[in-house]
Structure 1
Amino acid sequence: MTSEEDSIEQAAVARRERLMNLKAAKELMSTPDEGSEQVEDKTDQEDETANGDNAGLKFRNYVPQAKELQEGRLAPPVLPKFEDPIAAAPPSPEKKEVDPFLNIAPKKPNWDLRRDVQKKLEKLDRRTQKALYKLMEEQEKERQAAEMIEED
C-alpha cells in the first residue's frame, strides 16, 4: 500500500510543478517587454499624425466641395483589361441543321441484321475491288501483248 501512496504523491508533486511552470510562462507572456512598448509608442504617434491636418484625408468615392480638400482626392483605380477567352475565339462554322423529326421515326425491323452483316459486306467489297483490279491488269496485259504482235 505504501508504494501506491508514494506513486500517487509523486504524481501530485509532478502535476503541481507543471502547473507552476505554466503559470510562470503565462506571466512572462502577459508582461510587456521593451520591444512591445516601442510598438505601442509608434501606434500612438501614428494616431496623432492622422488626427492632425487634412493632409491625411484621402477621398475615394467622395468629391469634396472645398478646394483644399480636392487635392487629397485619389485617382480612380485602373482596372486591368480583361479579355474574355470565349468571346475572342472565332465562331465555329455553322453546322447543318438536323431535322429533329428524323430521330423520332422508328428503326426498320431488320436494322440489327444489317448491322451484323455490315462487316461481312465490307470484307466482300474489298475482295470485289481487288478482283476488278486484277481483271483490269489482265486486260491491259492482253492489250499490250496484242499491240506487240501487231507491231512485229
Structure 2
Amino acid sequence: MAAVGTLNDEALKRKERLKALREKRNVQNDNTDQDEPGNSTTEKERLPRPTFRSYKPEHDSLKEQAKPAAQASDITMSIKDQLDAGKTDHVVSEVDLDKLAPRKPDWDLKRDVSKKLEKLERRTQRAIAELIRERLKASQEDLASMVSVGAEQNRMEAGDED
C-alpha cells in the first residue's frame, strides 16, 4: 500500500514540474514579443495558408489562394521522336543459332554435378585397381594368366548375348 502513496507523490511532483516549465515558456515568449517591436505578428499570420490545387473555393477571400489550372502539354512531337528513334535501318544478317537454341532443361544440374562426378570417377578407378591387385595376390598367379582368363570370360559373355 506504500507504493500507491509514493506514486501519488511522484505524480504531484511531475505536475508541478510541468506547470513550472509552462510558466517559463510563456515568460520567454512574452519577452521575445516585447524585445522585437517591429515584429507585430498576429495569430492569423502565424498560421499556414492553404493552397488550393484541385479545389475551387467559393468564398471570395479564398479565391486569391487558388492556383491556376495546369495546362496539358502537347506530346505529339516527343512521341514522333521516340518512334523515329525506334526504327532501325540495318538488318541483322548473321544469327548465332547456339544462342537461339533452347538449352536442355537439366543443363544446370549437369554443370553442378560434374565436379562431384570427377571425384567419384577417380575413386572408382582406384577401387578397381585395388580389387585387381587383391585378386592377383589371392590367386598367386601372374598377370598374363589373369588377363587371358578375363578375356575368355568376355568372349563367353559376348557369345551368350548373340
User: Is the pair's TM-score, using the shorter chain for normalization, greater than 0.5?
Assistant: no
TM-score tier after normalising by the smaller chain length = under 0.3
TM-score by length of 1: 0.27
TM-score by length of 2: 0.26
Pick 1 or 2: higher relative contact order, CA cutoff 8 A, min separation 6.
1
